[in-house]
Chains A and B, each alone.
Chain A
Amino acid sequence: LAKTTQPISMDSYEGQEVNITCSHNNIATNDYITWYQQFPSQGPRFIIQGYKTKVTNEVASLFIPADRKSSTLSLPRVSLSDTAVYYCLVVWGSSGGGADGLTFGKGTHLIIQP
């Protein structure tokens, strides 16, 4: 599986847009990019998944350039409750999570201030 690199921590203010970039230089053709969010002492929660270009859902957008060697998770108008750890994962196939466990890195500690 491709190794991912993301910032250890970031901070921002309420109401701002936050972009977290993840590098995955060795991503393979069948790999998808998946992001999870984790609050302290809780299990991770799926945020979004994409293969290329842009994916948007009710909580975030995921931008993936044509070479797919990086991706950016965009959180619009963050609030204090968005303070959490965000994990970027590269997984095999669109349902690869059904075949293997997820490999989590250190994640990005996002701190939102008032």
Chain B
Amino acid sequence: DSGVTQTPKHLITATGQRVTLRCSPRSGDLSVYWYQQSLDQGLQFLIQYYNGEERAKGNILERFSAQQFPDLHSELNLSSLELGDSALYFCASSVAGRDSNEQFFGPGTRLTVL
């Protein structure tokens, strides 16, 4: 158990819909990262938040957005869903500034778009 929690575990929805994935980082971790893992693209970094502010962007689509709240939990919003958005979405957290590149990954949310 990494200490990072994600909800829901599974999500099945239809094309064109909007969903919200939730992540709670490890206690004390200020950075939250979102990753997407699909069979064809592998594990890809989407976006990072640090203490409520967006810190880095990866391959995140314009239809996707995220935010980090004052209690440090984060939400990833996916809208106008397409079949190709079906994937495992992981949240990870870390304490920025530590002498390590260790990120702690949650169990993931499996999104299926029908």
A interface vs B, CB < 8 Å?
32, 34, 38, 41-46, 49, 87, 89, 91, 94-107
Whether B17 sits at the interface, judged by CB under 8 Å, is: no
B58 within 8 A of A: yes
Distance between Cα atoms of A12 and B54 in the complex (Å)? 43
B contacts with A: majority SS: strand
Number of B residues contacting the other chain (C-beta, 8 Å)? 35
User: Of the candidates B44, B97, B108, which one forms a contact with A43 in the assembled complex, judged by CB atoms under 8 Å apart?
Assistant: B108
Q: Cβ of A105: which chain B residues have Cβ within 8 Å of it?
A: 42
Q: How far is the CB of B14 from chain A (nearest CB, A)?
A: 23
Interface centre among B4, B35, B47, B102 (most CB of A within 10 A): B102
Asked if B92 and A98 make an inter-chain contact with CB atoms under 8 angstroms apart, the answer reads: no
A101 touches B56 (CB 8 A): yes
Number of A-B residue pairs with CB-CB distance less than 8 Å in the complex they form: 84
The chain B residues found within 8 Å of chain A, CB to CB, are 2, 4, 31, 33, 35, 42-48, 50, 55-56, 58, 88, 90, 92, 94-108, 110
Q: B101 near A91 (CB under 8 angstroms)?
A: yes
CB-defined contacts of B97 to chain A, threshold 8 Å: 95, 98
The 5 closest A-B pairs by CB, nearest first: A43-B105, A101-B45, A98-B96, A97-B101, A104-B43
Tell whether A45 pairs with B105 under 8 Å between CB atoms, given A98-B98, A101-B45, A104-B43.
Answer: yes
Q: Write the nearest CB–CB distance from A52 to chain B, whole angstroms.
A: 15
**In the complex, which residue of chain B has the Cβ closest to the Cβ of A34?**
B101
Return chain A residues, CB-CB under 8 Å to B90: 43-44
